A and B are shown apart, each in its own frame.
Chain A
Amino acid sequence: MRLKTLISLPLLLLVAFAASVLAQEQVMILRHAEIKDHQRPPVKFNHEQHIGKVDCLQCHHDFDAYMNNRGGEGQPCGTCHGQESNRDTISLRDAFHYQCKGCHEFLRSQGKSAGATTCGECHIRQR
């Protein structure tokens, strides 16, 4: 009995540790189930790297009735943006394209270094 707990406790901790590491994994693979029938390869997104460069609220938002951003960090974009655009929100695809590409393009127009702006720099084919 005691031996079993002795062995399983570190194991449990290890699993928990591994899970938390995975959950906070630096590079996210963006491939949302809200988008049906993906045509393009998934996009690798380095959350850590971006946090170091831009404020959370530049990307995460939860607008109130007066269009103030109340934050809402960590809510998946897909809770509000869906497969198709509707009256309230643009589609998930457009949400990513406008936000990711928009910032990169803006920064580049300011002469700063920035991330990808062409299709294949984000949707990288694996081979």
Chain B
Amino acid sequence: MINIYDFLAGPAAWGSFAFCLVGLALKLAYFYGFTKGTDMVAPNQGPAGSGSAVYFTRPPGELYFRSQPMFAAAVSIYHACLFAAPLFLAAHNFLLQEYLGISFFVFPESVSDTITVIFFISGIFLILRRVIQPKVRRVTSARDYFLLSVSALPFLTGYLAYHQIGPYVWMLVLHVFTAELLLVIIPFSKPVHACLFFLARGFMGFEVLARRVWSRMGVEG
């Protein structure tokens, strides 16, 4: 059992990180070629894109923050926790320090624990929204629930392992396995928006700067 853990936390971890990065690179390359002949989203990138990306994530800015404040808050909190919890977790950084000699800033473990609980709450909100709101339910398929669950599983198993609820080493095995599962499917499913989001925004930056479509459309920047 501990040998399974050793394999998952060792070679399999490097493998799935590499797989994720290579997958994302391939996806970008594919997207570049794919849009080159059509709408030029990938080739046409403007520097205002980074500003546009920030603008999108900043609360008062984007339209949906005003029209759907609850949803916008849940999505923002969900994404913030999605990154903050694993990246600044003490245990992850201790291992990173051991393996690579580097580490990020580290939260006290009680803070990471709270962030994880907030992640669950925002995730449940997002799921309920898909179940309850008819206009969202109509565009929801099993795949959406699957992806939400897959992204929640590493958090759930990590939470249980940290609190040593259930068989500990098995929980760790599940934790590492589900996290690697997530890494592997990222490039080929909806979570790829982690990458393509910036392309979309960069394209808008290009539109604004080079073609000024927004001002022609009468939208204030």
Contact = CB atoms under 8 A, between A and B. Distances in A.
A111 to B, nearest CB: 10
A118 interface: yes
Contact of A39 (B5, B98, B108): B108
Interface of B: 2, 5-6, 90-91, 94, 98, 108-110, 161-164, 168-169, 172
Nearest to A102: B98
Instruction: Give 6 nearest A-B pairs by CB, closest first.
Output: A125-B164, A39-B109, A120-B168, A120-B164, A119-B91, A118-B172
Q: Considering residues B2, B5, B109, B161, which has the most beta carbons from chain A within 10 angstroms of its beta carbon?
A: B2
A117 to B, nearest CB: 7
Contact of B164 (A108, A117, A124): A124
Contacts, number: 30
A101 B161 CA distance: 19
B6 A108 contact: yes
A84 interface: no
B94 A97 contact: yes
B90 A118 contact: no
B173 to A, nearest CB: 10
Q: Considering residues B108, B162, B164, B168, which has the most beta carbons from chain A within 10 angstroms of its beta carbon?
A: B164
B90 A120 contact: no
B94 A120 contact: no
5 contacts: A39-B90, A39-B108, A39-B110, A40-B109, A120-B168
